């Protein structure tokens, strides 16, 4: 799985400092305001929150730029922990890299992000695609099928020209969300910020 990253004193101090600040704010008694889609290998929420030192190495290492930091409004206890954001690209679990191991897992110094032994990284389910049929252009008879064309796992099928997610094939990679044009092509709902198809956390 590659060498364990060296945890420098500076990184450790920065992470512990951030943790101390959150504990001072009472984070130990708070839970995230909403569930998050996490990087592959970080699906154990309790482990992630407990082990992550907020070093941001995973964000910097992601070759597709789809890892961002959780904000305070998402819940103080998880603040500055990694979450997925599929605005312009999707997660391949670094299957296109020579070693096939997610870069985020390779650089994580604490094991907060780690692929279980014997698990194929690209098969790790990080979420599931969810379609808002009121916002989806195909359901509004606009003939859109960008999500269907983009899905690398054949997890979307077109039923009477409307996309439907095949749950047991979807890994939550975000390819469908990254190409959805519902917000660009005339969303009719005031204040809508989520795309018509978006990856949501899997209930565990």
Give tens-digit pLDDT for 76-132.
Answer: 889 999 999 999 999 999 998 867 899 999 999 999 999 999 999 999 999 999 999
Residues 6+ apart with CB under 8 A from 23: none
Of 71, 80, 75, 66, the residue nearest 34 (C-alpha) = 75
Indicate whether 16 pLDDT > 90: no
What is the model's pLDDT at position 122?
Answer: 94
Name residue 131's beta-bridge partners.
197
Q: How confident is the model at residue 195 (pLDDT cuts 50, 70, 90)?
A: very high
Closest CA to 145 of 78, 196, 97, 76: 196
Please give the pLDDT value at position 189.
62
User: Span 61-76, mean pLDDT?
Assistant: 92
Q: What pLDDT score was predicted for residue 34?
A: 73
- Show the CA angle centred on residue 68, arms to residues 15 and 166, nearest 5°: 130
Phi-psi category of residue 116: left, alpha or beta, with phi > 0 → left and psi -120 to 50 → alpha? beta
Highest mean pLDDT among 12-21, 29-38, 81-90, 132-141: 81-90
Q: Which residues of 38-51 are buried (b: 16+ CB within 10 A; e: fewer)?
A: bbbbbbebeebbeb
pLDDT, tens digit, 9 for 90 and up, residues 160-192: 999 999 999 999 999 999 999 999 855 556 677
Going from the C-alpha of 202 to that of each of 35, 48, 89, 167, 195, the distances in angstroms are 9, 16, 20, 10, 18
pLDDT at position 87: 95
Q: Distance between CA atoms of 126 and 124, rounded to whole angstroms?
A: 6
pLDDT at 97: 80
Mean pLDDT of the 67-83 span: 91
Predicted TM-score (pTM) of the model is 0.82
| pLDDT value for 1 | 45
User: What is the band of 141 on the pLDDT scale with cuts at 50, 70, 90?
Assistant: confident
- Whether pLDDT at 8 is above 80: no
pLDDT at 5: 56
For residue 67, the surrounding DSSP H or E stretch is strand 67-69
């Amino acid at each position: 799985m590659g060498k364990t990253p060296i945890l420098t004193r500076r990184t450790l101090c920065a992470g512990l400092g951030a943790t101390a600040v959150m504990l001072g704010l009472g984070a130990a008694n708070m839970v995230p305001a909403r569930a998050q889609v996490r990087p592959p290998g970080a699906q154990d929420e309790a482990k992630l929150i407990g082990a992550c030192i907020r070093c941001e190495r995973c964000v910097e290492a992601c070759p597709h730029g789809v890892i961002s930091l959780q904000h305070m409004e998402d819940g103080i206890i998880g603040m500055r922990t990694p979450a997925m954001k599929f605005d312009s690209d999707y997660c391949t679990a670094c299957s296109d890299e020579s070693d096939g191991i997610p870069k985020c897992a390779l650089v994580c110094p604490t094991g907060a992000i780690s692929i279980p032994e014997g698990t194929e990284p690209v098969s790790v389910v990080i979420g599931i695609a969810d379609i808002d049929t009121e916002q989806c252009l195909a359901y509004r008879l606009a003939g859109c099928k960008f999500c269907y064309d983009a899905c690398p796992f054949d997890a979307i099928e077109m039923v009477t020209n409307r996309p439907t997610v095949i749950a047991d094939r979807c890994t939550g990679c975000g390819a469908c969300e990254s190409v959805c044009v519902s917000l660009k092509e005339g969303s009719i709902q005031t204040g809508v910020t989520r795309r018509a198809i978006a990856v949501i956390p899997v209930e565990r």
